[in-house]
Amino acid sequence: MRDRTWLAAGLCALVAATALSAVSRAAPRFTVKSTSVELPYDETAYPEGPGAEVMNANCASCHSASMVLLQPKLSREQWTGIVRKMRDVYRAPVADEDVPAIIDYLAKLSPR
Amino acid sequence: MDRFDAMMTAPLGRRQMLAGTAAMLAVPAGAQGLVDLRLPGGPSQRPLAGGFPGKGEMIVQRIHPPLLETPMEVFDSDVFTPNDRFFVRWHWSDFPTSVDAGAFRLAVRGRVRRPLSIGLAQLLRMPRVELAAVNQCSGNSRGLFEPRVPGAQWGHGAMGNARWTGVRLRDVLDQAGVLSDAVAVRFAGLDGATVEGAPRFEKALAIDHARDGEVMIAFAMNGEQLPLLNGFPIRLVVPGWYSTYWIKMLSDIEVLSAPDDRYWMAKAYRIPTTPGADIVPGTKDFPTVPIGRMVPRSFVTSLREGQAVPLRPTMPVGGIALGGDRSVARVELSADGGRSWQPTRLGPDHGRYSFRRWDAELPLAGPGPLTLMARCTNDAGEGQPMKAIWNPSGFMRGNVEAVSVEVRADA
């Protein structure tokens, strides 16, 4: 029910949003209408197993788990480099003590 | 309600339909099927699903933020890719899901005489240009690299062709008055980095490229406003160049007096300086440059890998080609592993940067397996190599691709 109410409110807002219509003398009429969308939510968690909890806590906020789970088979060294990049470049807030468990989990992933 | 709450309260039907699709642990309830991208060593299966705003059935590479790939058969129906099947690619999930067309502003700033804040109404009053152009991800077909490389594991569908309508970037820059010390122009959109201190997505072009009169700020795609997931309300169109430069939801143009030294130009989206961006796997410490122009490619789209085809005197074979940053001059077809090539008929010419349709009648000798290869040559004489290139980012694949079918007397 709560969902439906929210959706209805969203639709009203969408209809009420001002549709900008600008016509130029030189150019043919083209209208750009305000847009509002809903994105699907990804509930997929990392598969159960040692380290799954630490993965769900650290590697599922910026992107879906599929970013990890659909990778080909990578070496431990490659996974170590990826985790380093997530932390150093993309500023993933991963605690130092969680890193070994994350790398162990990743190194055990094999393509399904 | 913030975006996270909005996602949590998404209608249940859609939530159920998409939950679990990406991990490939199970066939998601409501997904329309699976596609096998034939990535060497796997994982190769991806869900096909609708449910993304403005999109029909797409290959789901990632839900959050969306990475959606166009199924190959879409390219067989038309050289223009319908907006609702056009591929989707975001780096950060922090992009707005609502854009008010009246309030939207594009800033032009930096080394200019008059900084501007341009509304859509103003853009729509400027002289218009229209151009057919292929938008292709730098990493299109990355999943086929061998040895495999990390990154989005695309098949061939991270590309699309559209008629883009908009205004010349040069006209916008001229309104602002570019100062004489300008050397580059940096572009960013409404998408921000999810975490503070992380690099928001931005790309830059050399000033002469930005002012070449072809680079465009597009507000329409195939005659309609852009789907939000393709960059509503405006995106940059850089004809002949990979889509990393085609900034979506373009909101910020900054004219620079030095080359852009931020992360997405200086560290990411770089290719080896070797011919064809090709290096030996495992090579360490090689010089790189930012990726730029596209290379010729061609695809058989009328037949699927593994398809059974009836034995007849000849078999129709067709597909699409792009010339990179030049026109398609010819497309040839081989059915003997590249020893001999037959010409194909080219379809209507929609301009240098567009997909071009090609078709041929292939004589069939008898039943059995048959491997087909297409090869495009552009009007600068640049063709497609038989051998795949390799680089650690999986960029710029352009070799001749093969499709194998089974000719059957009883098919």
At residue B31 the predicted structure's pLDDT band, cuts being 50, 70 and 90, is low
> Could you report the per-residue pLDDT of B58-78, keeping only the tens digit for each?
999 999 999 999 999 999 999
DSSP secondary structure string, B59-93?
EEEETTTTEEE--HHHHHH-SSPPGGGS-EE-S-S
Enclosing H/E stretch for B18? helix B12-18
> Chain A: nearest CA to B162, how far in angstroms?
17
What is the pLDDT at residue B304?
96
> Could you report the per-residue pLDDT of B161-193, keeping only the tens digit for each?
999 999 999 999 999 999 999 999 999 999 999
What is the pLDDT at residue A111?
61
More confident residue, B396 or A1: B396
User: How many residues can be counted in chain B?
Assistant: 411
pLDDT of B18 higher than 90: no
Q: How far apart are CA A90 and CA B51, in angstroms?
A: 29
Show Cβ contacts of residue B284 under 8 Å, excluding neighbours closer than 6 positions. Answer: none
Is A39–B9 a contact, with Cβ atoms under 8 angstroms apart?
A: no
Is A22–B194 a contact, with Cβ atoms under 8 angstroms apart?
A: no
What is the pLDDT at residue A29?
85
Q: Are B156 and B137 in contact (CB under 8 A)?
A: no
pTM listed for this prediction: 0.91
Is B150–A71 a contact, with Cβ atoms under 8 angstroms apart?
A: yes
- For each of the domains in chain A, give its residue range(s) and CATH number, in order of start: 52-109 (1.10.760.10)
Residues of B in contact with A45 (CB under 8 A): 23
Strands (DSSP E) along B279-355, which ranges?
A: 288-290, 297-300, 308-310, 314-322, 328-334, 342-343, 345-346
pLDDT of B55 higher than 70: yes
> Chain A: nearest CA to B73, how far in angstroms?
23
Question: Which residue in this structure is represented by tokens 């010349």?
Answer: B168
Residues of B in contact with A32 (CB under 8 A): 101, 120, 124, 219, 225, 233
Alpha helices in chain A (DSSP H): 2-16, 52-58, 66-69, 76-88, 99-108
Show Cβ contacts of residue B149 under 8 Å, excluding neighbours closer than 6 positions. Answer: A72, B142, B391, B392, B393, B394
Q: How far apart are CA A90 and CA B196, in angstroms?
A: 9
Burial letters A5-41, b for 16+ CB under 10 A, else e: ebeeebeeeeeebeebebebeeeeebebebbbbbbbb
What is the pLDDT at residue B20?
37
Average pLDDT, chain B: 93
Torsion of CA A66, A68, A74, A77, to 10 degrees: 180
**Start and end residues for every CATH 3.90.420.10 domain found in chain B:** 103-134+159-271
Q: What is the CATH number of domain B103-134+159-271?
A: 3.90.420.10
Question: For residue B15, which amino acid is it?
Answer: R
Residues of A in contact with B121 (CB under 8 A): 20, 22
At residue B17 the predicted structure's pLDDT band, cuts being 50, 70 and 90, is very low
Question: For residue B138, which amino acid is it?
Answer: S
Q: Tell me if ipTM is over 0.85.
A: yes
CA-CA-CA-CA torsion sign (B123, B162, B225, B66) = negative
Show Cβ contacts of residue B267 under 8 Å, excluding neighbours closer than 6 positions. Answer: A89
What is the pLDDT at residue A13?
34
> Among A23, A58, A67, which would you mutate to test the B interface (most chain B Cβ atoms within 10 Å of its Cβ)?
A67
Number of CB atoms found within 10 A of residue B328's CB: 26
Q: Which residues make beta-bridge pairs with B60?
A: B68
Q: Are B181 and B232 in contact (CB under 8 A)?
A: no
The pairing of beta strand B216-221 with beta strand B67-69: unpaired
What percentage of chain B reaches a pLDDT higher than 90? 91
Residues of B in contact with A23 (CB under 8 A): 124
Strands (DSSP E) along B85-181, which ranges?
A: 88-89, 98-99, 105-110, 116-119, 129-136, 159-168
Q: How far apart are CA B325 and CA B398, in angstroms?
A: 13
**Start and end residues for every CATH 2.60.40.650 domain found in chain B:** 295-406
Q: Which residues make beta-bridge pairs with A53?
A: none
At residue B32 the predicted structure's pLDDT band, cuts being 50, 70 and 90, is confident
Is B198–A90 a contact, with Cβ atoms under 8 angstroms apart?
A: yes
Q: Are B21 and B47 in contact (CB under 8 A)?
A: yes
Residues of A in contact with B282 (CB under 8 A): none
Burial letters B276-306, b for 16+ CB under 10 A, else e: bbbbeeeeeeeebebbbebbbbbbbbbbeee
- Residue B102, phi-psi category: left (phi > 0), alpha (psi -120 to 50), beta (remainder): alpha
Tokens for B289, please give them. Answer: 């440059």
Nearest residue of chain B to residue A111 (CA atoms):
B43
Residues of B in contact with A31 (CB under 8 A): 225
| Fold classification of B295-406 (topology level) | Immunoglobulin-like (2.60.40)
Is A43–B19 a contact, with Cβ atoms under 8 angstroms apart?
A: yes
Nearest beta carbon to residue B22 from set A42, A90, A92: A42
Phi, psi dihedral angles at B274 (to 5 degrees)? -65, 155
Question: Which residue in this structure is represented by tokens 């480099």?
Answer: A81
Name which of A5-19, A50-64, B261-275 the model is least confident about: A5-19
Tokens for B131, please give them. Answer: 């151009």
> Could you report the per-residue pLDDT of B235-257, keeping only the tens digit for each?
999 999 999 999 999 999 999 99
Question: Which residue in this structure is represented by tokens 């929609």?
Answer: B350
pLDDT average, residue stretch A77-98? 98
Show Cβ contacts of residue B342 under 8 Å, excluding neighbours closer than 6 positions. Answer: B332, B333, B334, B360, B362
Interface A:B, Cβ pairs < 8 A = 198
> Chain B: nearest CA to A19, how far in angstroms?
7
Q: Are B123 and A26 in contact (CB under 8 A)?
A: no
